[in-house]
Amino acid sequence: MDKPSDTLAKRITDRLVKNGLFTEAAANKAQALIASGKMSPEDWRLPIELATDKEECDS
């Protein structure tokens, strides 16, 4: 059985992708880090910055 943190991390990253805050690739990378508590402030910043930039470029 998956640990609760693993299950929750998957739900969180799915919603972040759905809201355009993470790309799919970034979400896949971040999932284990979020679950294990190793998602540092910079780990949070980079994917959201990239996704924001991408959104700005696309719009």
Partner 1 sequence: MSTPALRKLSIAHLRGSVAPFSLPFENNKKLTVVYGENGTGKSTICDAFEFLGKGRVGSLENRGLGRPHKYWPSLGKNSSDVSVTLETVDGATCSATLIKSDVVINPEGNRPSIEVLRRSQILALVEAKPGERYNAISRFIDVSGIETSENNLRQLIQSLTKNRDVAVARVQENEDSITQFWTTAGKPGADALAWAKIEAHRDPNAADAETAALASIQLAYTNLLGYPTQLEEAIRDLNTANLKDDDARIALENCATSVAADAKEVVKILESAKDYYLAHPSPHACPLCESSENATGLGARIDQKLGNFSAIQTANSNLTQAANALQRAAQQMEQLNKNYEKSRTAFEDSRKALPVAEDIRPCATSCPTEINQLGSWLEQTADLPAAWKTAETNRQDSTRFLATLKQALETYLHNVDAQKELDALIPNLEKAHEIVIEERQKFTDLILSNIATEVGRLYEAVHPGEGLNKISLELDPKKRASLEIGASFCGTTGTPPQAYFSESHLDTLGLCVFLALAALDEPAESILILDDVLASVDEPHVERLIEMLYVEARRFRHCVITTHYRPWKQKLRWGWLQNGQCQFIELSKWTNTQGLTLIQSVPDAERLRILLAESPPDPQLVCAKAGVILEASLTFLSQLYECSVPHRSTNLYTLGDLLPSIKGKLRNALSVEVLISAGDGGSTHQPTALGPILDELQRIAQARNVFGCHFNSLSFELLETDAIGFGQQTLMLIDALADPVAGWPKNKKSGRYWANAGETRRLHPLLAPQ
Q: Which residues of the chain form contacts with partner 1 (CB under 8 A)?
A: 1, 3-5, 7-9, 11-12, 15-16, 19, 21-22, 33-45, 48-49, 51-52, 56
Q: From the CB of 58, what's the least distance to partner 1, in Å?
A: 14
Q: From the CB of 59, what's the least distance to partner 1, in Å?
A: 12
The answer for residues whose C-beta is within 8 angstroms of residue 31's C-beta and 6 or more apart is 6, 9, 10, 13
Q: The tokens of 22 are what? A: 């993470």
CB-CB contact of 51 with 22 (8 Å)? yes
Nearer to partner 1, 5 or 28 (CB): 5
